[in-house]
Amino acid sequence: MGFEWLFAVPLASAVLLFMIGPRWRFVVSLAGLGTLLACAHWVQQLPLHLTTLWWGQQWALDELGQTLLLYTYAATAVLTVIAWLADQAGWFVPPALAHCGLLAAAVLLRDMPLSALLYASALLLWVLTVRPGSTAAARGAACWLVAVALPLVCLPLAVALLEREVALSGPLGAWLAWLPLWSWCTLFPWDGTTRLWGKERLEVGALFLWAVKDWGVLYLWATLWQQYPALRSEGTLAALGIAGLATAVLSGVWALMQSQPAGVLACAAMSALGIAVQGLAADAGAAVQGGLLVLAQRSLAVLLAGAALAAWPSAAGRDAAAGDGAPRWRRPLLLAAFALGVLALAGLPPLGHAGRGPIQSWLAAQQPYLRLSWLSATLGIVLGLARVAWPMWHSEAEPNADPRADLPLAWVAALLLLLLWVSLRPQGLAGLWAQQLGQWLQVLQSG
Amino acid sequence: MLSTWSLWLEKLSTSHAPQLTAGLTVCGLLVLALGDHPLALLPWMLQRGLLIALLWSALRLPLSSMSGIASIAIALLFLGAELWSAFARLRHGNAEQPAERSVTGWSLQLLGAALALLVTRGLLQVELVQRLPSAAALAAVPLCVNGVFMLLLAGGGWLAGFGLLSLADGLRVLYALWSPDPMWWGLWAASDVVVALAASHLRRLQRAVPPPAPAEQG
C-alpha cells in the first residue's frame, strides 16, 4: 500500500458515507470505524523518512507525523462510537473522515504552505456541519470560520515570501517573525470552538475539534520552526508565553460566568491549552515535557468529560426508568466523571498536577506572579463547575428502558481509567514520547 | 470575445487606475456601513470586480481569469444563500421579519466605516507602507483595513466572509508584487471559494434559525 491511500481512502469513504446519509447510522459508523482501522494499519506499515515524488510534490512520513495520525485515528474512532450512541453519527462520521484524509495529506507533504492550506481546509469542513436550530452555534461557527481562515490567508503568503528569500531584517522581517502568532489564532480561546455545541447537548463535532485540532496545529508549528529557524526568535516565544498565560487566566475566570456544563468544560479546556502553550514556549526541556503532558491530559480529560455529557441524557433516562427499589447509579457516575475531567483540566491534584509542576517550577523562577494567575483560573473553573453541577443533578429526563443506552458508560469508564493512568504515571508517557517524538522534542528544546 | 474584454480591461487598468482605487475604498466602506444587510453583496462584488480590473495589466491572463472565475463562484454562492433564505421564509409563511438592524446597529456600522477610513489614511502615512509602490499601497491598505473592520463588526457568517475575502484581496495585491506562482494563485482562489461556501452556509443557518432566547449564550 502506498502513502496515497492514507488520504484517498478516507476522502472517498467520506463522500460515500455522506451519500448513504444519516438514516443508516449503524452502517455509517461501522464503515467509518473500518476505514480508520485500515488507515491506522497502513500508517504503521509505511517506511519512515522515505521521500517520494508524486504530483510534483515531495511526500514523506516522520515519527511525529505517524504519532499524530495514529492519535487522530484513535480519537476519531472513540468519538465515532460516541456519535453513534448519541444519534449524531450521520452528521459526524463523513466530515471526520474527510478531516482525517486531509490531515494525512498535510502531514505527508513536505511543502509547508500547501500543508497549512490543506489542514485549514480540513478544519473549515466543520463549519459546513453546523446544523440549524441554535443561534449560538451559528455565531460560534462564524467565529471559528474567522479563526481558521486567517492562517489560511496569511500563512501560505508569508511562507511563500520566505521561500523567495526575502531577508528577515527590517520591519518586514519583524512582521514575518510574528507568523507563529497568526497560527496561534487557531488555538486562541475566542476561536469559536467553544460555542459549536448545541444548547441542549454536546455536539460530538465540537468535541472532536477540541480533541484533535490543537495537536495538528502544533505539528504545523514544529514543522514551520524546523524549516525556518529564523522564525523562532526570543520575542516570538515570549509573546506566545504571554498569550498562553492570558488564555489560561481569562478562560478560567470566564468559566465562572457559564450557565451550561459544556460551557464550563470549554473554558476549562481552553485554560489548560493556555498553560500547555506556556510550557511549550518556555524553551526548556522539563517545561516542554510538562506542556506536552498537559496537552495529553487535556485531550483525555476533554474526551472523558465530553463523553459523560454526551451520555448524560440517555443515562438520566435509564435512571428515571428504574424501579423504586433499584439503585440509580448512572447519574452519580457520569457527574463524577464530568467533575473529575473538569478538575483535571483545572490542574487540581492528583489528576491535573503532574504536567503543571515542571512548567510552574521553571516559570515561577522568572515570573513570581504566575502562581496567583494560575490559582485565579483554577478557582474560576471550580466555582463554574459548582454552579452548573447543581442544576445538572436536578434536571428532569424522559424515562428510557432501552439497555443499549448504557453502552456509553463503558466508554466513560475506559476513558476514566486511561486518564488515571496518564495522571498517576506521567513517567510512562514521557518515556513513550522520548521513544516516538525524540526528534521533535529536540526541535522544541533547542532554543 | 475574450480577447476584446481582455484588451478593454488592460486599457482600463492603466488609464483609470486612480478611479478604480478610489472605487475600491468607497465600496469597502459601503459594505461596512451596510453590514448584515443583503444589499451589502452588491458593493462587495463591485469591489471584487474593480480589483480584478485594477490588477489585470499587472498579472498574466491565467491568474486574472482564475480570480474572475473564483469571483463568479463566490457571487453565485452568496446569491444562492440569499435566494434560498428568501424562498425558505416565503414557503414557511414568515416573510414578515422584524427589522434586522436597530438604530444602534446602524450607527455602529457607520462609525466603524468612518474609523476604518481614518485608520486607512493613517496607515498610508506609515514609513513601511510608503516603501511599497504607491499604487499597490493605495489598493492593499484600504482592502486590508476594511477587511479587518468587517471581521471586528461581524455578528455572523455574512460579514465575516466578506471581511476574510477582503483581507485576502488586500494580501493578494501585495503578493502580486512578487511575480506570483500560478499554482499558489489558483490554490488561494480555491480557498476563497471554500471560505465563501462556509460563510454562505452560516448565512443560510442564521436566516433559518429562530431568534435567540434571552437566556441563550453566545
DSSP string over A290-345: HHHHHHHHHHHHHHHHHHHHHHHHHHHHHHHHS-SSS---HHHHHHHHHHHHHHHH
> Is B160 part of the contact surface with chain A (CB cutoff 8 Å)?
yes
Nine-digit cell string for B158 = 455574512
pLDDT tens by residue, B43-75: 999 998 888 888 877 776 777 778 888 899 999
Across A71-75, A141-145, A331-335, B103-107, least confident range: B103-107
Range with the poorest average pLDDT among A85-99, A158-172, A370-384, A420-434: A158-172
Name the residue facing B198 among A124, A133, A160 (closest C-beta): A124
> Which residues are paired to A57 by β-bridges?
A54
Subunit contact B208:A153, Cβ cutoff 8 A: no
pLDDT at position B64: 78
Of B151, B174, B209, the CB nearest to A132: B209
Whole-number pLDDT of residue B216: 42
Asked if the Cβ–Cβ distance from B154 to A171 is below 8 Å, we say no
Residue A444 belongs to what domain range? 233-447
Comparing A43 with A184, the larger pLDDT belongs to A43
Q: Does position A335 have pLDDT exceeding 80, yes or no?
A: yes
Number of cross-chain residue pairs from A and B with Cβ atoms under 8 Å apart: 114
Mean pLDDT (chain B) is 80
Q: Hey, is the C-beta of B199 within 8 angstroms of any chain A C-beta?
A: yes
Exposed / middle / buried, residue B74 (Cβ in 10 Å: 0-12, 13-18, 19+): buried
Q: Is residue A177 part of a domain?
A: no
Q: Are residues A279 and A394 in the same domain?
A: yes
Cβ within 8 Å, pair A135-B161: no
Q: What cell was used for A269?
A: 479546556
For residues A410-414, average pLDDT: 82
Does residue A271 carry a pLDDT above 70? yes
Residue A115 maps to a domain: yes
Domain total in chain A: 2
Confidence band (pLDDT; 50, 70, 90) for A77?
A: very high
What CA–CA distance (Å, rounded) separates A122 from A115? Answer: 11
Task: Tell me: pLDDT of A389 over 60.
Answer: yes
Q: What's the pLDDT score for residue A189?
A: 59
Residue A225 scores a pLDDT above 60: yes
> Quick one: pLDDT band at residue A385, thresholds 50, 70, 90?
very high
The pLDDT, as a whole number, for residue B164 is 92
Determine the pLDDT at residue B93: 63
- CB of A133 within 8 Å of a chain B CB? The answer is yes
Q: Is B12 domain-assigned?
A: yes
Find, in chain B, the residue whose alpha carbon is nearest to that of A119. B191
Res A160: pLDDT: 72
B161 touching chain A per CB within 8 A: yes
- pLDDT band for position A69 (cuts 50, 70, 90): very high
Highest-confidence segment of A77-91, A177-191, A227-241, B186-200: B186-200
* B211 in contact with chain A, both atoms CB, cutoff 8 A: yes
What's the pLDDT band for B99 if we cut at 50, 70, 90? very low
Q: CA–CA separation, B84 vs B92, rounded Å?
A: 12
Distance from CA of B174 to the nearest CA of A (A): 9
Q: How confident is the model at residue A381 (pLDDT cuts 50, 70, 90)?
A: very high
With a cut of 60, say whether residue B210 has pLDDT above it. Answer: no
Instruction: Determine, yes or no, domain membership for A140.
Output: yes
pLDDT higher than threshold 50 for residue B214: no
Q: What's residue A405's pLDDT?
A: 66
Note whether residue B179 is domain-resident.
yes
Note whether A245 and A364 are within 8 A (CB).
no
Check whether A164 has a pLDDT greater than 80: no
User: Looking at residues A205-212, what average pLDDT do you find?
Assistant: 82
Contacts of A205 in chain B (CB under 8 A): none
Is A441 inside any structural domain? yes
What pLDDT is stored for residue A41 in this prediction? 93
Chain B residues with CB under 8 Å of A114 CB are 187
Reply yes or no on whether the pLDDT at A27 is more than 60: yes
- What pLDDT, on the 0 to 100 scale, is given for residue B1? 59
Is residue B213 in a domain?
no
| pLDDT for residue A96 | 92
- Any domain includes A182: no
C-alpha–C-alpha distance, residues B13 and B23, integer Å:
13
- Contact of B214 with chain A, judged by CB distance below 8 Å, is answered with no
| Cβ <8 Å between A146 and B151 | yes
Of A117, A121, A153, which has the smallest distance from its Cβ to B168's Cβ? A153
Whether B101 shows a pLDDT value over 60: the answer reads no
ipTM over 0.85: no
Overall average pLDDT of the A9-27 stretch: 87
B205 touches chain A (CB under 8 A): yes
Domain end: A140, A164, A188, which one? A164
Across the interface, whether the CB atoms of A145 and B184 are under 8 A apart is answered no
Looking at residue B98, its pLDDT comes to 47
* Closest chain B CA to residue A124: B198
A194 contacts in chain B (CB < 8 Å):
none
Number of structural domains (chain B) is: 1
Question: Which chain B residue has its CA at the smallest distance from A125's CA?
Answer: B198
Domain with B193 in it? 2-90+103-208
* Highest averaged pLDDT of the listed ranges A94-98, B4-8, B123-127, B179-183: A94-98
Stronger pLDDT, A56 or B71, i.e. the higher one = B71
Asked whether residue B217 is assigned to any structural domain, the reply reads no
Asked if residue A444 is part of any domain, the answer here is yes
Confidence bin at A200 (pLDDT 50/70/90): low
Cβ-nearest to B187 among A117, A134, A140:
A117
Average pLDDT over residues A249-271: 87
Chain A residues 325-354 with CB within 8 Å of chain B: none
Question: Does the CB of B157 have a partner CB in chain A at under 8 Å?
Answer: yes
Measured in angstroms, the CA of A323 and the nearest CA of chain B are apart by 35
Question: Percentage of residues in chain B with pLDDT exceeding 90?
Answer: 14
Q: Which of residues 257-286 of A touch B (CB under 8 A)?
A: 258-260, 263
Dihedral class, residue A188 (left if φ above 0, else alpha if ψ from -120 to 50, else beta): beta
Among A153, A161, A260, whose Cβ lies nearest the Cβ of B178? A161
Residue A185 lies in a domain: no
Residue A153 has pLDDT above 80, yes or no: no
**3 state DSSP class of A53:** strand
Which is higher by pLDDT, A168 or B69? B69
Q: Give domain status of residue B164, yes or no.
A: yes
| pLDDT confidence of residue B113 | 87
Residue B218 pLDDT exceeds 50: no
- Out of A139, A150, A152, closest to residue B218 by CB: A139
Q: Taking 70 as the threshold, does the pLDDT of residue A168 lie above it?
A: no
Cα distances (angstroms) measured from residue A45 to each of A1, A29, A48, A216? 8, 25, 9, 21
Q: Over pLDDT 90: what percentage of chain A? A: 15
pLDDT of residue A172: 62
Kindly report the nearest CA distance between residue B60 and chain A, in angstroms: 19
Give the least confident one: A389-398, A404-413, A419-428, B204-213.
Answer: B204-213
| pLDDT for A72 beyond 90 | yes
- Asked if residues A242 and A369 have their Cβ atoms less than 8 Å apart, the reply is no
Distance from CA of B4 to the nearest CA of A (A): 32
pLDDT for B76: 92
Average pLDDT along chain A: 80
Where does A109-134 have alpha helices with state H? Answer: 112-124
Residues of A in contact with B174 (CB under 8 A): 157
- A136 interaction partners in chain B (CB closer than 8 Å): 212, 216-218
A149/B217 Cβ within 8 A: no
A385's CB contacts (< 8 A; 6+ apart) are A255, A264, A268, A339, A342, A343, A346
pTM of the model: 0.81
For chain B, positions 162-191, list CB contacts with chain A under 8 A: 163-164, 167-168, 171, 174-175, 178, 181, 184, 187-188, 191
pLDDT at A98: 93
Q: Is it the case that residue A198 has pLDDT exceeding 60?
A: no
| A409 within domain boundaries | yes
